Amino acid sequence: RAVFARLGLGLAGARAVLQGYGKVGAPLVYLLSSLGMRVVAVEDVTGAVHNPAGLDPAELSDYASRTGGVAGFAGGDALDPGQLFRVECELAVPAALDGVITADVAEDLGARVVVEAANGPTVPDADAVLERRNVTVVPDVLANAGGVTASYFEWVQARQGYPWEPDLVASRLRSSMERAFDSTWDRADQLGVSLRRGAIVLGVERVAEATRLRGLFP
């Protein structure tokens, strides 16, 4: 939501492709669909499936649960996995493997936005290509930080000895991620750099300031 809002893109009817249909990718199909987006292609270890009208989240989940993967799903056509990121769409989400968006893939990428749900899915050479093509990349250090943030919330609850309601966890996680995104976007914009570089700069600045305030070094 946040990156689309910053770019002036609407969610309703926007197309998305996902690589990975596990603990991250499978829930994402439901989440993106609930926002009004069309998940038009999904790939997992068994293969890839494509439907320009959008894949049905419930039917895909039921099929994958029964068969162990998305390959052969009747609600779409088989797609060569090597073509997944070439599908025309607004959003591409690599949510499985590292190093999958190479410079060659980046040249033919069909998406306007990449959200790195996996760790290290974009190789350094590809970053330069994506910047040249004005593709916005929400880097892994920001995009998939929800897991460690939720783990921090677990630690806080344990320290308090007081469990939070699931809705409160979700609300605080959403607020935390939105603040992190806004801070990263603003810092990157100030410096005229990509979100990846902006996130790294912001992180280093915060650690440096915390170290200074603690007085660990002269």
Q: Do 2 and 102 have their domain in common?
A: yes
Q: Do 164 and 214 have their domain in common?
A: yes
Query: In the 8-state DSSP scheme, what is residue 22?
Result: S
How far is the first Cα of the chain from the last one, in angstroms, to the nearest whole number? 43
**Residue 184 tokens, joined:** 């990263």
**CA–CA gap between residue 170 and residue 161 (Å, rounded):** 19
Q: For the residues 20-35, what does the mean pLDDT come to?
A: 96
Residue 212 in this model has a pLDDT that exceeds 90: no
The pLDDT tens digits for 153-167 are 999 999 999 999 999
Domain that holds residue 187: 145-218
Q: Do 113 and 184 have their domain in common?
A: no
The answer to whether the CB of 100 falls within 8 A of the CB of 124 is no
**Residue 83 tokens, joined:** 């073509």
Q: In 10 A of CB 65, how many CB atoms? A: 10
Q: Do 151 and 77 have their domain in common?
A: no
Task: Report the domain count for the chain.
Answer: 2
Q: Do 34 and 121 have their domain in common?
A: yes
Considering 122, 144, 166, which residue would you say is the last residue of a domain? Answer: 144
Strand boundaries in 134-202, DSSP class E: 136-138
Q: Do 159 and 180 have their domain in common?
A: yes
Q: Do 86 and 128 have their domain in common?
A: yes
Q: Do 123 and 189 have their domain in common?
A: no
**CA–CA gap between residue 56 and residue 90 (Å, rounded):** 18
pLDDT at 217: 64
The pLDDT tens digits for 74-95 are 999 999 989 999 999 999 999 9
The pLDDT tens digits for 93-120 are 999 999 999 999 999 999 999 999 999 9
Q: Do 123 and 172 have their domain in common?
A: no
pLDDT at 215: 84
Q: Do 137 and 157 have their domain in common?
A: no
Beta pairing class for 77-79 and 47-50: antiparallel
The answer to whether the CB of 53 falls within 8 A of the CB of 30 is no
Q: Do 136 and 185 have their domain in common?
A: no
Considering 125, 144, 163, which residue would you say is the last residue of a domain? Answer: 144
Which residue is it, tokens 């570089």?
197
Residue 185 in this model has a pLDDT that exceeds 80: yes
Residue in 82, 117, 96, 114 with CA at minimum distance from that of residue 22:
96
3-state DSSP helix/strand/coil percent for the chain, to nearest 5?
Answer: 50, 15, 35
Cα distances from 217 to residues 98, 200, 211, in angstroms, run: 37, 22, 7
